[in-house]
Homo-oligomer: A and B are copies of this chain.
């Protein structure tokens, strides 16, 4: 399974997974606003990291993001990338994705919540929304007296093209 592939190498995410789903473009002022909203000082590093995250592929690892940022400004340390990513996760600007034992992946928190379905052969990730499932989750929580804060739903299987390869 792709979960056993060595660390450091980029997962074979197909090109269509590398497009950002954020249609809107962000100006430097937008970026600064976002940083200020999390009560952090605006620094060139944070602007660059956030910008790169926004422009780049979704579901990126801290390491991948660090490498991308490095190519633009080699003065950015990976500690800063990890730190900022962690901060953004805390303030919900980004969402952490922990799939299996692989390094954590990040995506800018989308306006509308979605879950993920991953092909265990090629690593393709499909995003989906299903209100019925979300409603049922609430129902389960209610049955046990829980007040839900969040959830993790990941589907794993074989995608169409990988099925045909066999």
Contacts and interface: CB of A to CB of B under 8 A. Distances in A.
B144 A120 contact: no
B148 A163 contact: no
A101 interface: yes
Most buried by B among A100, A147, A155: A155
A126 B141 CA distance: 10
A152 B116 CA distance: 10
Contact of A141 (B144, B146, B155): B155
Contact of A158 (B101, B133, B146, B153): B146
A35 to B, nearest CB: 23
A132 B143 CA distance: 15
Contact of A98 (B101, B120, B126): B101
Given A151-B153, A151-B154, A160 B133 contact: no
Contact of A140 (B117, B150, B156, B158): B117
B155 A140 contact: yes
Interface string A117-144: 1011000001010101100110011011
Taking the full assembly, how many copies of this chain does it contain?
2
Most buried by B among A101, A130, A150, A153: A153
A145 interface: yes
Contacts of A137: 133, 153, 155
A149 interface: yes
26 contacts: A6-B144, A98-B100, A98-B101, A117-B146, A119-B146, A120-B149, A126-B146, A128-B140, A132-B132, A133-B133, A133-B137, A133-B140, A136-B136, A144-B159, A144-B160, A146-B158, A146-B160, A147-B157, A147-B158, A147-B163, A148-B155, A149-B158, A150-B157, A151-B153, A152-B154, A153-B154
